[in-house]
Structure 1
Amino acid sequence: MEGSGLYGRPAAGVLADAGMTVVEVPPHMTAAARRRQRTGSKTDPGDALAIARVRLREPALPPPRPHGAIEELRCLVRYRRELVADRTRQVNRLHADLEQLRPGYHQRVGRLSTTKALDRTARLLRGDTTSRAQVARNRIKTLRSLQRTIDGLAAETRGAVDTTGTTLRQIDGIGHLTAADILTEVGDPARFPNKAAFAMANGTAPIEASSGRVQRHRLNRGGNRQLNKAIHTAALTQIAHRHTEGRRYYQRCRDRGKTKREAIRALKRRISDRIWTHLNTHPLT
């Protein structure tokens, strides 16, 4: 089934409860199978045939996302991401207004993403009765409301992560929010039979680009970018703290002649392997 995590989720649940084996066919595989058809048209019967052919060709397709703690956590994480994106847009719009109202305001206010900066901005606009100033004040109210909701979701997410019983937070650089990102993006860790498959899925495994006697690898820009971002955050956090194992490993890579970027990539792969181990040796409650 394609879309078993969205519109097809109720149907997938009914089929699974009836004792049928249901697997998720990724949309990109369906699209590739559709392109191989002679007509190239998109119809429901044609898509059903393409999905069936993909299932016969790919025996290791994952099951649909299960209900439970991870799915609840996924809802919180995605909603928080939406609100963070909304906050960024509001900050950008407020910045554009302030550049018109108070050129050079940032020297007195600082970054608009903090509560203190918003308080300074409100004082800066005090007494200004123009329409643009009123709009800016409304944006400040919206930003404060968004920040309160985001903070509340962060607290709720921390509780949801603790409920899962995950041990990911034992890894240096992984806090509650980063662990939540990892859990929601990975879903069922059984989808990845080994560390190499997991690294390829999250983009930390380099792509071989050898030719003849020249053996080399290039950066992997594929994979799950949200998962890659979480691993990158953990790597930078480890590097910033001298007492961590990651910082010592990073320094050994630098001592062997690797550039900063190469050392970070090597550390990210190491963290990816550690995450896979925790997900597979410490099942969630």
Structure 2
Amino acid sequence: MSMLADLVEVVIGVDTHKDTHTAALLDARSGGVLARATVGADPDGYAELVALAGQHSGLRAWALEGSGGYGAGLARHLADAGELVVELDRPVRPARRGGAKSDPIDAERAARDALARTRLAQPKTGPERAALQARLTARRAAVEASATAQRQLHALVITSPEVVRARFRGQSTRLMLATAARLRPTTTADVEVFTCLTVLRDLARRVRFLEAEAAEHEKAIRGIVRSWRPDLLQLTGVGPIVAATVLTAWSHPGRCRNDAAFAMLAGAAPIPASSGKTVRYRLNRSGNRQLNRALHTVVLTRLQRDERTRAYADRRRTQGRTDREIKRCLTRYVARELFRRLENPPHPLDAS
């Protein structure tokens, strides 16, 4: 595959921040800096950057840091303008001598990093993907906050006076929440008892509110997935949350060049770690960890409910494979299956 330097004449590296973006324009052939600019992170600033790039003739490409975060607005603006954008979430940066760092330096480094690349990542795009990402983020926050409140409720029950603790003894978490939600503290009680009962009731109500919020987000996620890619929900082990996680990471056809790249994105591709006569692979701990977790969820579900998967696991055990190794193989298989389904969706007439 050709390097980016062989495809374009100008590369614009952009160091993105909340309020400003700093760009460095580099000549792809000589590597020289043609121009630098810092603009506001708003439509006027985006237009100013495009106008600056237009002053230099030839094909050009943009290398953005954080195209899914601070650079999301600029990435959308450039996509609407038909510009070539390369995603650089974590550019390779050389060691800074003497602590040298500045936005122009980082922008120039981003451009040089893009020039050396042969595998160009495209930014995530699409309104459905953006909607799913927002819903998943909000749901995850609600679920985590609910779990935190439940732990706080357990801890408070343990340290409460016996008159309070006795009401919850032997109860499961769900029963504790129901009991706490029905509490009616009275001011005639001891100040410590009154405070404990009040806080326990508030925690239980918070948990219920957060659970209702998470359920509402999941309902909306299911609706978006069904309208966008309902075929994913037909796969064993793939529910609305797993499907949404996969779709937000995949984004659109062509973003990942093949199933191996998708597996690497998911952290499901083993990494060679051989040395001398020892040939081995190590676990890949990089990549999109939410996507990795989604694939792992599919594997666990299939090991419980899918006869073919269980038969495969039994066969591999007879060959001396451990359960951990079997799950790694299955995770790689699921990544390949999902990628092929995403890149080649079934035709509507085939499903009828």
TM over 0.5, shorter chain: yes
Alignment of 1:70-81 (within 5 A): 70-81=129-140
Query: RMSD of the alignment, in Å?
Result: 2.5
Contact 1:203 1:225 in 2 (8 A): yes
CA distance in 1, matches of 2:169, 2:319: 43
Contact 1:166 1:284 in 2 (8 A): no
Contact 1:166 1:282 in 2 (8 A): no
Q: 1:267 matched to which residue of 2?
A: 330
SS of structure 1 residue aligned to 2:148? helix
**Which segment drifts farther, 206-215 or 169-178?**
206-215
Contact 1:87 1:143 in 2 (8 A): yes
Which structure 1 segments of 5+ residues have no match? none
In structure 1, give the amino acid aligned to 2:154. H
Q: Show CA shifts across 1:178-218 (max 9, x none).
A: 11111112223523222222222212222222222222222
TM-score if structure 2 supplies the norm length? 0.72
TM-score if structure 1 supplies the norm length? 0.87
CA distance in 2, matches of 1:105, 1:194: 58
> In structure 2, do the counterparts of structure 1 residues 39 and 188 end up closer, same or farther at CA, with 3 Å as the change threshold?
farther
CA offset at residue 22 of structure 1? 1.9
Q: Is 2:282 the partner of 1:218? A: yes
The counterpart of 1:20, out of the listed 83, 89, 105, is 83
CA distance in 1, matches of 2:327, 2:167: 36
Alignment of 1:1-285 (within 5 A): 1-26=64-89, 28-29=90-91, 32-33=92-93, 35-36=94-95, 38=97, 40-101=99-160, 102-103=164-165, 108-110=170-172, 112=173, 114=174, 116-122=175-181, 129-241=193-305, 243-282=306-345
In structure 2, give the amino acid aligned to 1:52. A
Which structure 2 segments of 5+ residues have no match? 1-63
Higher strand share: 2
CA distance in 2, matches of 1:10, 1:175: 31
CA distance in 2, matches of 1:46, 1:198: 31
CA distance in 2, matches of 1:107, 1:184: 43
Aligned residues: 277
CA distance in 2, matches of 1:160, 1:126: 43
SS of structure 2 residue aligned to 1:22? strand
CA distance in 2, matches of 1:104, 1:188: 55
Contact 2:126 2:252 in 1 (8 A): no
| Structure having the higher Rg | 2
In structure 2, give the amino acid aligned to 1:152. E
Instruction: State the percentage of identical aligned residues.
Output: 35
